[in-house]
Amino acid sequence: MTDVQSSFDDRNMRIQKVGVRNVRYPVTVLDRREGSQSTHARVDLFADLPHRFRGTHMSRFIEVFNRYHRDLTMPRFLEMLEEIRISLEAERAYAEIEFPYYMEKAAPVSGQRSMMEYTCHYSGTSTGVHQHFVVGVDVPVTTLCPCSREISDRGAHNQRGVVRTRIELGPFFWFEEIIELVEAAASSGLHTLLKREDEKYVTERAYDHPVFVEDLVREVAVSMEDAHDFPWFSVEAENFESIHNHEAYAYIERSRQEVP
């Protein structure tokens, strides 16, 4: 059959990104406790299009991804990107995926176990010579306002927040490591299942560990630098305020080259 996509285009315009977006697909990723975990992802796959081609071959993105979805570890993600680039005769390939990651957690007092969901991300590019890969983990937390606690005779306002980490791939790490150090820096982590004695514990723990968003991003950044020598990372904290009609926000990024 005639390959219309590969026909010559005389407009002499390279397209920077072309591909498929919002593909929903099952994937398997590494799990520190179980070895691997099956989940589902929202997937964006792109490549540049040389000026001489009229169109790309959309089906090839899915063909390649289908070969990797059952073992989508971090190194395999980069292999997949390079295979997409070669298959489409492109100079550069791009991919972004987002998936829920589940971790079993025990309630702090009762020990009741339940599954907690976190959102994870892969984002990368491959040129054949250079590859760039960033991993993201979004961690929901509880924060309690230090100012509110200091000035109030009774109680202090607290709220749910989220800490979004983005890490350039260097040394190997587990999603669970990042989740644990973020929760340790917050007023409290979240749980899917809490009994009354657990609710008392987490409420009092939050009161005893008040943090501003500024404290949160700094503490997470310090812990990440202590844990691994990442080439680059960023930490973003957002509090969904309980007494204001806006959110509180802070962002920090660090790299090996940065002087403290």
CA atoms within 13 A on the CB side of 171: 10
The whole-angstrom separation of Cα 100 and Cα 115 is 12
The list of the chain residues with pLDDT below 70 reads 1-11, 51, 53-56, 258-260
Query: Which phi and psi angles does 214 have, rounded to 5°?
Result: -65, -45
Q: Which of 222, 127, 232 is nearest to 169 (CA)?
A: 232
**Could you tell me which CATH number the domain at 17-255 has?**
3.10.270.10
Q: Report pLDDT for 127.
A: 94
Q: pTM for the complete prediction? A: 0.90
> What are the extents of the domains in the chain?
17-255
DSSP letters, 137-196, are EEEEEEEE-HHHHHH-SS---EEEEEEEEEEES-S---HHHHHHHHHHHSSEE--S---H
